[in-house]
Structure 1
Amino acid sequence: MSATSINLVLLLLCLSAALLLRPWQLLKGATRLTPMLAAFTLLPWLWALPSLHQMPLQLQGSGACLLVLMLGWPLAVPVLCGVGVLAALISPMGWDTALDLIVWLGLVPATLALGLGLAVRRWIGHHLFVYILGRAFLGTVVSVFIAGVLGQWAGHSLPGVDNDLSLVAHWLIAWGDAFLTGLVTAILVAYKPDWLATWSDRLYLKKP
């Protein structure tokens, strides 16, 4: 099976599962709309950066794990698909490259983040620092790194990075994404908890 075929299968599986969960119901009220519009504004440029500038090391950030925390997985999946389409429209990348980014920079780390988040809640518990350090920070490190390794195995390569250095590059990218996700999540918990679909004062702060 070719890399494009694998990407299409993964895309259809994730999108079908997300649509079955009726993600549009999460848009009731304005709390999901603002982070969704922010994702459409910022993430396409982050994903398109290597295609817009020729640099020796063209490393790409993901942002998918943060999006899952803010929107929830069912809504994050179609949003990430839209981000990939916008990235293709604002840059000279081809549609095969955009599909590659949607799957390996968006859907796979987002799905892994969902699974790890459920595992953290199930086996570690509901605590403020567990949410920030476990789900937002360490969960992002693991999700983005595993997605990068799986993507490399499936034929997705980092632009401008030699194959021998790809694992190191994926590891560094994962930590960069984790620092950003952890920082933004901590700020949102303190000042805008309603922007986090996965946050609950009742669960994590033990409020009635």
Structure 2
Amino acid sequence: MAWILTACAIFLLGVYQSRHGVLLQPRLRNIFAVSILLLAIAWNIRAELPNSNLNNFIDISLHFFGASLLVALFGFWSAITLLFMVALTGIFTFSTDLVETTRHYILVSVIPAFFAMCVIKLIHRYLPRHLFILILGDGYIAAFVSTFATGILIYILQQAFDVKSFSTTDPLGWFMGLLISSFMEGSLSGMLLAIMVVYRPQWVSTYQEDQYMNA
């Protein structure tokens, strides 16, 4: 019940914080719907990490999270609002387990989105506004760091809660798998962000062409 209440509270806070933001822009409604659908499908196309166990507290598998990319596209609050819908579509539709759905939403959506937001804010604060920095920083680096940091945090939580199913896995193999997953997340996010900035800049609500092209 705690997972459900926490997830619903985060979702409602996201809706409130983004009530005047990009979620209400008609020009982005189609991309919102497409993002939710494609990300829900991506969450169900996965390869398990070495020696992973699906009975773990939460599994980190080789699949596209998409949380960091949504933060780079629409901002943090809009991203976690959309990710709640992704969780309902991609997890609850197949498992019909609301606890698993909300747990997945918090640990594999909200937390990576939070880490991505922190990285993006640091990049914007200390680095100049440049198109290359936008793609490399907001796209690749933010996605890599957010995925890797989330994996380490989940590992620590699993050890702290003494999850027996995880104690039989190979920590080194799991760590190497996490590195691969982080690189994959960064590469896909950076590539997709670059494509959208070049061909559909109107879809990237955090991108101001006058600031980046004149830098």
TM-score by length of 2: 0.79
After superposing the two structures, state which structure 1 stretch, 117-126 or 144-153, moved more. Answer: 144-153
Question: How much has 1:149 moved relative to structure 2?
Answer: 1.3
Q: Which sections of structure 1, spanning at least 5 residues, go unmatched?
A: none
The percent of aligned pairs where both chains have the same amino acid is 19
Residue of 22, 27, 34 corresponding to 2:23:
27
Q: How does 1:1-208 map to 2 (within 5 A)?
A: 5=2, 7=3, 11=7, 14-23=10-19, 25-50=21-46, 58-92=61-95, 94-155=97-158, 162-164=169-171, 165-206=173-214
| Deviation digits for residues 76-98 of structure 1 (CA, Å, limit 9, x no counterpart) | 11110111111224323633322
Q: Which sections of structure 2, spanning at least 5 residues, go unmatched?
A: 53-60
Query: What stretches of structure 1 move > 4 A for 4+ residues in a row?
Result: 7-10, 55-58, 156-159
Q: Kindly indicate whether the alpha-carbon contact (under 8 Å) linking 1:104 and 1:148 is maintained by their aligned counterparts in 2.
A: no
Aligned residues: 200
Pick closer, same or farther for the CA change 1:202–1:10 going to 2, 3 Å.
farther
Pick closer, same or farther for the CA change 1:13–1:47 going to 2, 3 Å.
same
Counterpart amino acid of residue 189 in structure 2: T
SS in structure 2 at match of 1:198: coil
Pick closer, same or farther for the CA change 1:10–1:113 going to 2, 3 Å.
farther
TM-score by length of 1: 0.82
Question: How much has 1:175 moved relative to structure 2?
Answer: 0.8
